[in-house]
């Protein structure tokens, strides 16, 4: 159907060409309210539910064993709990087949308890000897050091990002809006992890830094277009800063959608195919953080970062006054009361032309009266001359022009445009 493809006038066509006019900035309070509700839920979950930290952060013991036919994850989990130990996490690692293994994590235990757990696992997992079980013990001090390094890496990342944006755009407001968007993505992703209960591992931290970089890339693309559209905007009355920012979001909307879809396809493969269908449990922590983070990053760059930038800009009196000036001009134009210099000069010229036209009309009337008086004088002089000639007995020559006596200031009637001499 015409108008529905990318070359037509439908939504897809306008989206492809960057001609959409969605009011992202005008509806920003709605996005703020929706994000606030989601963030409140995530923060409450983080406070009351907490996180399921892996042994790399919390410390503890990990048991890994091959999967034998007929043995399920519930069987090996029950073998550990039968030894009086709580299981922190239980998952399947590796592809289906000979390389598949069970991974059981617990809190740190004494050596006697560890030996008892391994004995139970040999029986439940149908193993020939305890040497087929790989044990990994991580102390709480090591887990605390890993946590501290992860927090330091996150803080350094945010500081470097803020400095980069402030230098790149020479605008601290853009840096502040971008950092707030990254913090929003961080809290929302962490809240989803808390709600779902997935294990937090070093892979989670790596994935988190990855999605923050992805979100930053999308935000920088939009900000670059905003900077281009608003260059020298205070010296014109064509559009306001909020309108320039909204135009930039619409112009980059298709690019953001394409980038998000292309990035989410392989991540969805890791999360749903790798973890769900193939049972590769070790990919869950990485795939979930990437999937949730990319979605929130695309959302924040369009619906939060740019509106926040507009609000920060409007705190400047120059931009507020510019918005009022543009609005007042549009109202005047709609009423036909333009106050541009050109129109002002035209009005002044028209006003000055009216007295000049009146003066010219009076002068033309006076000139016409003078011409009439001059004609009458010419006729009187000619009659007097003829009378004198007949009295003297002389006949005037044929073709001779009678002499005329003009009054000072009068002009010959023959010189008048379109005038006819009366005889």
Q: pLDDT tens, 368-392?
A: 444 444 444 444 444 444 444 444 4
- Averaged pLDDT, 125-148: 80
Going by pLDDT thresholds of 50, 70 and 90, the confidence category of residue 257 is confident
The pTM of the whole model exceeds 0.95: no
Q: Are 17 and 10 in contact (CB under 8 A)?
A: no
Highest mean pLDDT among 145-154, 185-194, 333-342, 404-413: 185-194
pLDDT at 414: 46
* 119 pLDDT more than 80: yes
Q: Phi and psi of 284, rounded to 5°?
A: -65, -45
pLDDT at 254: 83
**How many CB atoms lie under 10 A from the CB of residue 311?**
15
* Residue 60: strand pairing partners: 138
* 339 pLDDT more than 80: no
pLDDT at 170: 79
Going by pLDDT thresholds of 50, 70 and 90, the confidence category of residue 422 is very low
Across the chain, mean pLDDT equals 75
**How many CB atoms lie under 10 A from the CB of residue 198?**
21
What is the percent of the chain with per-residue pLDDT over 70, rounded to a whole number? 70
Going by pLDDT thresholds of 50, 70 and 90, the confidence category of residue 336 is confident
With H, G, I as helix, E, B as strand and everything else as coil, classify residue 167: helix
- CA distances to 336, 341, 363 from 352, in Å: 21, 16, 17
Domain 60-138 is of which CATH architecture? Answer: 2-Layer Sandwich (3.30)
* 165 pLDDT more than 50: yes
* 42 pLDDT more than 90: yes
* 415 pLDDT more than 70: no
pLDDT at 378: 47
With H, G, I as helix, E, B as strand and everything else as coil, classify residue 169: helix
pLDDT at 304: 92
Q: Are 207 and 293 in contact (CB under 8 A)?
A: yes
pLDDT at 94: 63
**Overall residue count recorded for the chain in this entry:** 423
pLDDT at 291: 85
Lowest mean pLDDT across 12-16, 52-56, 116-120, 230-234? 12-16
Where does 170-201 have alpha helices with state H?
172-196
For the four alpha carbons of 73, 79, 82 and 84, in that order, the dihedral sign comes to: negative
CATH class of the domain at 20-52+142-330: mainly alpha
For the four alpha carbons of 10, 14, 15 and 19, in that order, the dihedral sign comes to: negative
pLDDT at 12: 60
Q: Give ranges for CATH 3.30.70.260 in the chain.
A: 60-138
Lowest mean pLDDT across 5-19, 99-113, 331-345, 353-367? 353-367
pLDDT at 358: 54
Distance CA 312, CA 226 (A): 14
Where does 125-252 have alpha helices with state H?
140-169, 172-196, 202-229, 241-251
Q: What digits encode the pLDDT tens for the residues 51-77?
A: 888 777 777 888 888 888 888 888 888
What count of Cα atoms within 13 Å lies in the side-chain half-sphere of residue 83? 25
Q: Give ranges for CATH 1.20.1640.10 in the chain.
A: 20-52+142-330
């Amino acid at each position: 159907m015409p108008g529905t493809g990318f070359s037509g006038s439908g939504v897809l066509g306008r989206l492809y060409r960057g001609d959409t006019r969605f009011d992202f900035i005008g509806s920003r309070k709605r996005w703020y309210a929706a994000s606030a509700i989601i963030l409140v839920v995530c923060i409450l979950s983080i406070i009351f539910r907490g996180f399921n930290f892996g042994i790399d952060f919390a410390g503890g013991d990990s048991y890994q064993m091959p999967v034998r036919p007929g043995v399920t994850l519930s069987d090996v989990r029950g073998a550990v709990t039968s030894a009086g130990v709580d299981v922190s996490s239980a998952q399947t690692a590796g592809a289906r087949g000979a390389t598949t293994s069970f991974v059981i994590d617990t809190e740190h235990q004494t050596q006697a308890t560890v030996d008892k757990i391994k004995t139970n696992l040999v029986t439940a997992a149908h193993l020939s000897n305890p040497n087929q079980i790989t044990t990994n013990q991580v102390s709480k001090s090591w887990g605390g050091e890993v946590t501290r390094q992860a927090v330091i890496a996150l803080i350094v990342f945010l500081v470097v990002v803020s400095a980069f944006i402030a230098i790149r755009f020479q605008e601290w407001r853009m840096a502040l809006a971008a950092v707030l968007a990254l913090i929003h993505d961080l809290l929302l992703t962490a809240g989803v992890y808390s709600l779902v209960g997935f294990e937090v591992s070093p892979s989670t931290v790596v994935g988190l830094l990855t999605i923050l970089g992805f979100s930053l890339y999308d935000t920088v693309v939009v900000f670059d277009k905003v900077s281009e559209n608003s260059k020298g905007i205070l010296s014109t009355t064509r559009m306001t800063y909020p309108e320039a920012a909204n135009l930039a979001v619409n112009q980059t909307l298709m690019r953001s959608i394409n980038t998000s879809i292309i990035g989410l396809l392989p991540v969805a493969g890791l999360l749903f195919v790798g973890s769900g269908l193939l049972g590769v449990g070790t990919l869950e922590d990485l795939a979930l953080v990437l999937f949730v983070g990319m979605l929130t990053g695309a959302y924040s760059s369009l619906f939060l970062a740019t509106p926040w930038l507009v609000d920060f800009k409007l705190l400047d009196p120059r931009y507020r006054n510019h918005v009022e000036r543009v609005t007042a001009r549009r109202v005047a134009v709609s009423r036909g009361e333009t106050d541009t210099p050109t129109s002002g000069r035209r009005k002044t010229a028209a006003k000055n032309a009216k007295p000049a036209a009146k003066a010219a009309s009076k002068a033309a009337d006076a000139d016409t009266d003078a011409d009439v008086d001059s004609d009458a004088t010419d006729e009187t002089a000619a009659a007097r001359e003829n009378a004198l000639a007949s009295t003297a007995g002389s006949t005037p020559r044929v073709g001779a022009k009678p002499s005329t006596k003009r009054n000072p200031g009068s002009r010959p009637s023959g010189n008048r445009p379109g005038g006819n001499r009366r005889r």
